[in-house]
Structure 1
Amino acid sequence: MSTVSFSKGWFRAKKLSLEAYTYEQAQALHQKGEFYCALIGSVASPLCFLEIKHGFVGVGFLDEALRESLTYAFQEKQPGKLFLSMATWREFEGNSDKVSKGTTYLFQPDGTLTIRRECFIPVHSLETSSSSADVSGNWEQLPDFGRYERFTRTER
């Protein structure tokens, strides 16, 4: 796995890490179930970041311009088990930070899937559809501190 560092969070608009935490500080927050951020890769240019607190892991995958192009949200749905409940893909207008379109997949443990396709340019439009999906691969064990490999896979 890549280098892991810890902080108070990832400031999306400014594309930077907030207040660095030591390994020990982050570990103490993890043990208490309190919020902290794990950066995978370099602090200045991470591949992704994880926002972690009791019962939740959010993963933001960054492109070469440090824009959050893919987001995963895992929620505790069973004791000790997290479920991938949302995945969002974003496309951007050229080299700007302006989102041109996005697709969000909302998963339910029973296999219900809602897909929201949203375009922002040139005019706003929204399409919603429902389906079912095999969600057996959406489950993950709560991560041990520092062991985030299973959450940092883009292909799920």
Structure 2
Amino acid sequence: MATHFQDSHGRDSLVYNFRAIDGRLFLRKIITYTYDENSDGDPHGPLVIESYTFTPEGICRQETDDSRAETIESVDRHSVDVSTHWEGIPQFGEYDAVAKHERD
């Protein structure tokens, strides 16, 4: 299950990707997109894509894809508190828990 948030130009700016584990949803991946502020519809896509991939064990991989520098950087972190990454599986139409923009 994924939740997409868009900017004022209809482009993805933030994505939360959840995975069902043991009857609950785990926020497994967060992706942010940074666009050229002077463009309202850049056909070449975002300038920077930053993603954070988490495991229930508290491992986080941060990847930054910067098209301006033509680089992809990756950093692994351990012992990350992922206790706030868990949500109950929502009933149909009750998506507030997985659709909140600001998360702890």
TM-score by length of 2: 0.89
**SS in structure 1 at match of 2:84:** helix
The residue that corresponds to 1:73 in the other structure is: 17
Higher helix share: 1
Which amino acid in 1 is paired with 2:66?
C
Aligned mate of 2:74, from 99, 108, 128: 128
* Deviation >3 Å, runs of 4+: none
Gaps of 5+ in 1: 1-56
Aligned mate of 2:85, from 118, 138, 143: 138
User: For 1:154 and 1:103, how far apart are their aligned partners in 2?
Assistant: 16
Question: Could you give the per-residue CA deviations for residues 12-48 of structure 1, whole angstroms, max 9, x where no partner exists?
Answer: xxxxxxxxxxxxxxxxxxxxxxxxxxxxxxxxxxxxx
The residue that corresponds to 2:26 in the other structure is: 83
Aligned mate of 1:100, from 47, 53, 63: 47
User: For 1:60 and 1:116, how far apart are their aligned partners in 2?
Assistant: 19
Please show how residues 11-22 of structure 1 align to structure 2 within 5 Å: none
User: For 1:65 and 1:140, how far apart are their aligned partners in 2?
Assistant: 30
**Number of residue pairs matched?**
98
Q: How far is 1:128 from its partner?
A: 0.2
User: For 2:101 and 2:62, how far apart are their aligned partners in 1?
Assistant: 18
Higher strand share: 1
The residue that corresponds to 1:115 in the other structure is: 62
Which protein has the larger Cα radius of gyration, Structure 1 or Structure 2? 1
Which amino acid in 2 is paired with 1:127?
E
TM-score by length of 1: 0.60
Q: How far is 1:105 from its partner?
A: 0.2
Calculate percent identity across the aligned residue pairs. Answer: 29
RMSD: 1.0
Gaps of 5+ in 2: none
The residue that corresponds to 1:21 in the other structure is: none
Question: Could you give the per-residue CA deviations for residues 46-66 of structure 1, whole angstroms, max 9, x where no partner exists?
Answer: xxxxxxxxxxx1011011111
